[in-house]
Amino acid sequence: MYESLFAHIRKFVPLSKEEEEILHSTLRYKKVRKKEFLLKEKEVCTANHFVLKGCFRMYFTQENGVEQIIQFAIENWWITDFQSLDWQQPSHYYIQAVETSEIAILDRRVTAEVCDLIPKLDRYFRLIVQRAFAASQQNLLFIYTFSGEERYHHFNEAFPEFVQRVPQYMVASYLGFTPEFVSKIKSRRTGDGKPPIS
Judged by the rule CB under 8 A, the positions of this chain that interact with a copy of itself are 60, 62-63, 68, 70-71, 81-83, 85-86, 92, 115, 119-120, 122-123, 125-127, 129-134, 136-141, 143-145, 176
Kindly tell me which of 21 and 86 has the beta carbon lying closer to a copy of itself. 86
Question: Which residue's CB is nearer to a copy of itself, number 110 or number 115?
Answer: 115
Q: Which helix (H) or strand (E) holds 173?
A: helix 168-174
Q: Cβ 72 to a copy of itself, closest distance in Å? A: 13
Kindly state the smallest distance separating residue 170's Cβ from a copy of itself, in Å.
Answer: 15
Distance CA 69, CA 102 (A): 21
> What is the CA angle 31-125-174, rounded to 5?
65
Which is closer to a copy of itself, CB of 93 or CB of 152? Answer: 93
Which C-beta is closer to a copy of itself: that of 125 or that of 152? Answer: 125
How wide is the angle at C-alpha 113 spanned by C-alphas 111 and 119, nearest 5°? 90
Give the residue with the Cβ less far from a copy of itself, 34 or 62: 62
**Cβ of residue 193: shortest distance to a copy of itself, in angstroms?**
27
Choice between 53 and 159, CB closer to a copy of itself: 159
Q: Among candidates 18, 98, 111, which has minimal Cα distance to 6?
A: 18
Question: Rounded distance, CA 132 to CA 129, Å?
Answer: 5
As measured in angstroms, the least distance from the Cβ of 157 to a copy of itself is 17
- Given its phi and psi angles, is residue 81 left (phi above 0), alpha (psi -120 to 50 degrees) or beta? beta
CB of 131 to a copy of itself, least distance (A): 7
The secondary structure element, H or E, covering residue 143 is helix 120-145
DSSP-assigned letter for residue 44:
B
- The least CB distance from residue 153 to a copy of itself, in Å, is 16
The Cα angle at residue 142 between residues 59 and 67, in degrees rounded to 5: 20
